[in-house]
Chains A and B, each alone.
Chain A
Amino acid sequence: MSAPVKLPPEFAALEPFAHWALPTETARNHHRHESSAAEIDAFAEAMLARFDEIVARLNEFPLDAMPEQWRPLYWMLLSLAEVAPAVEFYHGPQVPDGYDTRRFVADESFPLRPRM
């Protein structure tokens, strides 16, 4: 395992959730599906409580020049989007009666995909 992710000091309180700092949709989606509904809800609540501050700070940087130390927080923000359907629609990680998410493969290297 890699070293624990460090967040910028003002967001250090979110470090217990830094396992959601994952750089790809595939990794974020798989992490959602390996988590329980309670774990997902706790993460969403923690992020929502600081949402305005997080967005305000990240919006200070151009997307294509996001400083290294701010990227994990940015990925956590994208993880909040990843868990949104689980929180708001399905009340759990899975899509009920849905197709296997692992068979629906995101093309992470598609040339028109945004890099950040």
Chain B
Amino acid sequence: MDATENHEAEPAISRMRERYPELGSGPLPVEPYISPAYFELEKRHIFKRVWQHVGREAEIPRPGDFFVADLPASDASLIVIRGRDNVIRALHNVCSHRLNKVVYEPRGSARRLNCKFHGWSYELDGRLVGVPDEKYFADLDRDQCGLTRASADVWQGFIFVNIDPHPSMSLSDFLRPVYAGLEGYPFERMTNCYRWRTVVNCNWKLALDAFQETYHVRYVHGRSIADALRQDEEGSMLPIDCLCGDFHRRLSMAGNPKTVYGNPQAASTVDASTQQAGTQRVGKIAAVALKAGRGATKLSFSAADLPPAINWKKDPDWVFDINVIFPDFYVSTRPNYYQAYNFRPIAYNRTLFDSRVYYPEMKNAGGRFYQEYMKCVLRDVLLEDLGTLEQIQAGCETGPKTHMILQDYELMVRHNAHVVNRLIREGESRRQVA
């Protein structure tokens, strides 16, 4: 029953390495995960040149609303602010006068940006508009003394910044080759967001890698949600399909419709209260959560409303897609909610994991209970994932192994390493020419 036409046509195993032979199939070097020198190359050739997700437009709905995005791997701290013209800009948080921080707080709302050191004052678009004792400066040209701009642009309500003021590629050209088909997903209608952050002592790629394969699910999530994924006759939890672009990658997952987490329609279709309550698959609290959540969302749409790139294989058991937007942004697209994680590098062995989950608004307390149930399960599942990371980094750094071994369905790990390496190689050869 699980075997779709596609599965029958070609054996699942070995499909991936045949489709992407340029990624190779050998072991992957550990060096890029533990080398400060390699991290410097990543900073120079990737994080100072690419678009990076920093948040949602809806976080700063009114002119003057801002938040600060700290991007250590870009050596930048940016004020992301909505102007009077409603345009979202990214301004370096550095006063033009004596280089103090202009805003101290992580988020807020301002009529003007005023430096607290000597009172220099900037418009919301960064223009310098006020200088105390201006007559004592020799030849001060206000037009040349605004806050330094980085690039900012918005795609599907996600704000991206690029510290290069003249990026080699527009945000649209960067994203659309892989993600044009995601446009129209109701991101903006998932307005209840929960966010957790932590600094993990591991390399950013190692943290991301833990979220871009499903081989670990049976073990790391064996107590919690492992049974939510569809298993084949041998118990393997293979993805439906993988896609690799020049930068980005996608993974489509099949669920087990008998579970709360593996069935996106569980709240409306699984009659947990009568059939499965108290069984191993649906616990007693899960069962009442499903019951309370039924019909309680303010947003309802069917799979038919989703854009074509969602569940691109049209698998009947589809449960979610993983979309990794290079370099460090993970977005899951599910029929009833989505997750948005950044794996923000701080140092070669330190990463800020900034994780958010977005749900629709609920109508009542019963609906919120269902949402709280889903959220608490997700948070604890993330603790299971995070639990491995610092141990792996330590394992890498103690040095007994120079390589890691990957199977076919860890292709996304391989793809990320490959793209990072390619961009460093291209960047270094440009430098040598110049």
A interface residues, Cβ below 8 angstroms from B: 25, 44, 48, 51, 55, 58-59, 61-63, 66, 74, 77-78, 80-85, 87-90, 95-99, 101, 103-107, 110-114, 116
Contact check, B285 vs A84: say whether CB atoms are below 8 A apart.
yes
Output the least CB separation between B81 and chain A (Å): 14
State whether A58 touches B285 (Cβ < 8 A).
no
CB-nearest residue of chain B to A57 = B365
Contact A107 B197 (CB under 8 A): yes
- A101 in contact with B366 (CB, 8 Å): no
Residues of A within 8 A of B195 (CB): 106-107, 110, 113
A80 to B375, CA, bound (A): 12
Q: Which of A61, A88, A104, A105 contacts B285 (CB 8 A)?
A: A88
Taking a contact as CB atoms closer than 8 A, the residue among B194, B364, B366 that contacts A113 in the complex is: B194
Rounded to whole angstroms, the CA-CA distance of A17 and B193 in the bound complex is 28
Nearest 4 CB-CB pairings of A with B: A88-B283, A58-B365, A99-B386, A81-B372
Residues of B near A80 (CB, < 8 A) are 285, 369
Bound complex: CA of A104 vs CA of B386, how far in Å? Answer: 9
The reply to whether the CB of B43 lies closer than 8 angstroms to some CB of chain A is no
- Of residues 223 through 251 on chain B, the ones whose CB sits less than 8 Å from some CB of chain A are 223-224
Q: A78 and B384 in contact (CB under 8 A), knowing A85-B376, A112-B58?
A: no
Please name all residues of chain A whose beta carbon is closer than 8 Å to the beta carbon of B193 when the two chains form the complex: 110, 112-113
5 A-B pairs in the complex with CB atoms less than 8 angstroms apart: A44-B284, A81-B375, A99-B385, A104-B382, A114-B368
CB pair A63–B368 under 8 Å, yes or no, is yes
A84 pairs with B387, CB closer than 8 A = no
**A84 lies within 8 A of B377 (CB):** yes
A99 CA to B292 CA, complexed, in Å: 30
Chain B residue contacts of A105, Cβ below 8 A: 196-198
Residues A59 and B383 in contact, CB atoms below 8 Å apart: no
Measured between beta carbons, the chain B residues less than 8 angstroms from A58 are 364-366
Report whether B223 and A90 are in contact in the complex, using a CB–CB cutoff of 8 Å: yes
Whether B107 sits at the interface, judged by CB under 8 Å, is yes
Which of B107, B284, B285, B365 interacts with A55 by CB under 8 Å? B365
B424 at interface by CB-CB < 8 Å: no
Q: How far is the CB of B227 from the nearest CB of chain A, in Å?
A: 11
The CA of A105 and the CA of B383, in the complex, are separated in Å by 11
| Contact in complex: A81, B369 (CB < 8 Å) | yes
* Interchain CB contact under 8 A, B376 and A97: no
Q: Is the CB of A101 within 8 A of B368?
A: no
Known: A62-B364, A95-B387. 17 other contacts (CB 8 A): A25-B376, A51-B292, A59-B366, A61-B364, A61-B365, A63-B365, A84-B283, A84-B377, A88-B284, A89-B223, A98-B384, A99-B389, A105-B198, A110-B194, A112-B56, A112-B59, A114-B192
Interface pair B192/A112, CB less than 8 Å apart: yes
Q: How far is the CA of A12 from the CA of B192 in the complex (A)?
A: 32
Question: Residues of B contacting A87 with CB < 8 Å?
Answer: 283-285
Question: B281-325: which have CB < 8 Å to A?
Answer: 283-286, 288-289, 292
Contact with A along B183-220 (1 / 0, CB 8 A): 00000000111111110100000000000000000000
| In the bound complex, CA of A58 to CA of B389 (Å) | 41
Q: How far is the CB of B228 from chain A (nearest CB, A)?
A: 12
Given A59-B364, A112-B58, do A99 and B107 touch, yes or no (CB 8 Å)?
no
B341-388 residues at the A interface, CB under 8 angstroms: 358, 361-366, 368-369, 372-373, 375-377, 379-380, 382-387
Contact with A along B151-179 (1 / 0, CB 8 A): 00000000000000000000000000000
